[in-house]
Amino acid sequence: MERDAVIVEVGLNEGISRADHPHVPITPEDIAVDAQHCEAAGASVVHWHARDPETGEQRAADAELYGAALEQMRARSSVVAYPTYPTQPPDSIEDRLGHCWILRERHGLQVAPIDIGSVNVITWDEDACDFVGAIDTLAGRTVVQNSLAFTLTALARFDELGLHPSVAAFDVGFTRTMVNLVRAGRLRQPVFFKIFVMGSWAVGPAPDTAALEFHLHQIPDDIDVEWMVVPYTIDDPATVERVCRRALELGGNIRVGVGDNPAAHPSRTNAALVEDAARWADDAGRPLATAADVRVRFTLA
């Protein structure tokens, strides 16, 4: 693809309920139709969480639900689509990422997710100036755990199966780890790298352009990185736009989506948010990458 072409990714749903946002896609068909509309608006990549079609609950490792969505997406669009995986450390890597192996074999999955570090689960309410659900959180899920051993094992298996990793950084230390993984020959280039800039999930620097640039300062020029900013759990649409526009100015890519920032866009659809992203890219004088461009860039087979 053109070196200045912008990859627009969409965080379709995450764990957001219909009560949180009326336009969040839940069922495999909802997800496929939404992906189709997003591609028509200019997106080339989508990320989604498998959800129970009846209850809406997350099914982060449900290969059947993911497979149904992938097949329906393939029938409607050409987007590059990839799932999530459970945040908690179970007995084996198969429990967390085994659905990706199945999706690769049965449905031709091309990209798989990997978060290359661990963080505390800290939810902050700026208006109340207090932590949200601190007691409940301490009694249950408190840490997103991704050890170095888990990361290395996952990356080796991705290579074995021909999956390209979508690498996520929740804090600046993750970015440093990404660089070291490349230098150690454990992470192949070009790296598809997501820089999360987060609001109510109070991890990493406060969400603004300075946080993005702090991450970028850790990446040396001799590493081939296709980086993307992911504004996440941010309530203010102006902050989302400011961070995305700065990423475009700096040569990066952007992710939008009602799953990522439902409170910032309470009545917008995913496709409408992609239209915003396309306009920002046009204002920056940069073309949009197609799904075919993304496949060529990362040699996706």
- pLDDT one-digit tens code per residue, 122-171: 888 888 888 886 555 445 567 888 999 999 999 999 999 999 999 999 99
pLDDT at residue 215 in the model: 97
3 inside domain: no
Provide the token pair at 234: 């941010």
Average per-residue pLDDT in the chain? 94
Whole-angstrom CA distances from 159 to 47, 152, 216 are 20, 11, 26
1 inside domain: no
Per-residue pLDDT, averaged over 5-25, amounts to 96
pLDDT at residue 3 in the model: 74
pLDDT at 2 exceeding the cut of 80: no
2 inside domain: no
Q: pLDDT per residue over 99-128, tens digit each?
A: 999 999 999 999 999 999 999 888 888 888
Per-residue pLDDT, averaged over 196-202, amounts to 94
Alpha-carbon distance of 236 to 261, in angstroms, equals: 9
Lowest mean pLDDT among 44-58, 130-144, 216-230: 130-144
175 inside domain: yes
pLDDT at residue 127 in the model: 84
Lowest mean pLDDT among 62-66, 78-82, 120-124: 120-124
CB atoms within 10 A of CB 290: 19
Alpha-carbon distance of 11 to 194, in angstroms, equals: 12
Residue 291 sits in a domain whose CATH number is 3.20.20.70
Could you give the number of structural domains in the chain? 1
pLDDT at residue 131 in the model: 85
Q: Which domain holds residue 259?
A: 8-297
275 inside domain: yes
pLDDT band at 1 (very low <50, low <70, confident <90, very high): low
